[in-house]
Structure 1
């Protein structure tokens, strides 16, 4: 089954206290890469969230943006730098005695200074929020996968159309092969006659012509191209990621077409080779977006 590597999935989960929204954006990538934008306190959940995404998505670069609304995701706590506060109090008392200061020590100054006292988030997130986050990520991954499948169906239609065109060009080339061989043989015989005249060993010349014709034979390449087309059609039906397989197969097909083009000295065949290379390039570009 053909699936695109681009798409978007969004899902939300809500409880009495929280509302979680997860947005997944997917683009092409050689492997599966999942990047998160979420509160730092949930960093420990990344492995679980990646596993949830990987159950649906096998390849692509996934950007995951998480939004949390509602009560505080974590409990806040008061952090006091007691060592620094003790130093401050000790200094103030010494300064009061040394300089005979009459003003009392102002504790409020300590409370206003973040160097002494700070409110920070705790290290233990709310378990209710964790469940909402995991559920929303799973739902968003499924919606992303559904969108990639829809786009993949469109890609499959284009690829099948290109395969039909390739099969058509191959049939046309095959039809020109006898004409190419006859023209090539006549051209070689004419040149030999021009060089040596009628006085030559015809058996030897015919043997040399046969060798040259064998070197220009493209039937084997045409057979392999036909086999590649069938294999390509079969891969499109597989229920697994197929992008890399198709990419490799396109390289093999392109190699066969290049060989046909270098061997065949026939205008119509050369024209079909150009069309084949153009079609293969279109397929190669589309395959870059197949999972």
Structure 2
């Protein structure tokens, strides 16, 4: 069965050399109910944030996605140190006034000036916006390609595991169905025996009221409807895994329905073999639920 299951967990990284500069883009994705994007990059690149997020949506439908952009060197981003000369003049003037007012001795050194706050600022010089855009977007595209490949590889492993557990669950439901028929017949016989022991000799087993009570008692322990619905849920799960796109939330819903049915079966049955099968089925469903949490 050739199906495409994609994991929400993955990591992609790409590096581009631009002259003396080095651009690194990293993309990390983890589980999330919806698509949640976050970017961390130099402030002068924030104009690219919307474009980058749109590009991510071409590759990813669901998950928490963090994008990290780091730049080394000066080919893409050039930094320039600026001095606030007006603020320097004010500092020097007021320091001299303090010295004169209190008749202080000593001279002002460069060490004092460099310790004064807000005198120096590092400014990033704007580069060719279109050139920067192309380099970063191309590098992000490469990182997303790596990420997508890893998510698909992880998805293949999830699919194989889920198919195995689906097969196991189907076998357990078949056991429940087989045992249900035996238990149902045995239950009827026990009810019949108990009635014959306790009713008066002049009562007949065919009495309408007695038959109604027998039917009600038998129905309380009957799991045929739950077994039928379990088969339907298993089939729906298998069909959903064959679909394209974001299927994780739908699979999670189907698993919840399976869990509800198996709990009902457990509460209805007093048969030891059915109870053992229920425990095994619950275990498989729990493992399926854990795996489904990772699917996009």
The alignment's TM-score, normalised by the length of structure 1, stands at 0.86
Q: Name the structure 2 match of 1:263.
A: 268
**Which segment drifts farther, 212-221 or 244-253?**
212-221
Deviation digits for residues 174-231 of structure 1, max 9, x if unmatched?
Answer: 1122211111111112222333243424223222112222232222211111111111
Residue 4 of structure 2 corresponds to residue 6 of structure 1: no
| Residues 88 and 119 in structure 2, CA contact (< 8 A), matched pair in contact too | no
Aligned partner of 1:67 in structure 2 is 70
Whether 1:188 aligns to 2:157 is: no
Displacement after TM superposition at 1:51 (Å): 2.1
Partner Cα separation in structure 1 for residue 220 and residue 94 of structure 2:
99
The answer on 1:48 being equivalent to 2:51 is: yes
Counterpart in the other structure of 1:249: 254
Cα distance in 2, alignment partners of residues 70 and 83 from structure 1 = 30
Equivalent position of 1:228 in the other structure: 233
- 1:285 maps to 290
Count of aligned pairs? 288
Q: Conserved in 1, the CA contact under 8 Å of 2:27 and 2:144?
A: yes
SS in 2 for 1:64: strand
Question: 1:165, CA displacement in angstroms?
Answer: 1.0
Q: Which runs of 5+ in 1 are unaligned?
A: none
Tell me whether 1:166 sits opposite 2:166 in the alignment.
Answer: no
Counterpart of 1:19 in 2: which secondary structure? strand
In 2, Cα distance between the equivalents of 1:66 and 1:227? Answer: 47
Q: 1:161 to 1:94 in 2, by over 3 A?
A: closer
Partner of 1:244, secondary structure, is helix
Normalising by structure 2, report the TM-score.
Answer: 0.84
Q: Which residue of 2 aligns with 1:175?
A: 178
> Larger deviation: 240-249 or 199-208?
199-208
Assess, with a 3 A threshold, how the Cα gap between structure 1 residues 125 and 184 changes in structure 2: closer, same or farther. farther
Q: Which runs of 5+ in 2 are unaligned?
A: none
Deviations 1:86-113 (A, max 9, x none): 57448859988xx9x9x9x989789756
The structural deviation recorded for 1:4 is 1.0
Task: Determine which of 80, 86, 90 is the counterpart of 1:76.
Answer: 80
1:118 counterpart (117, 120, 123): 120
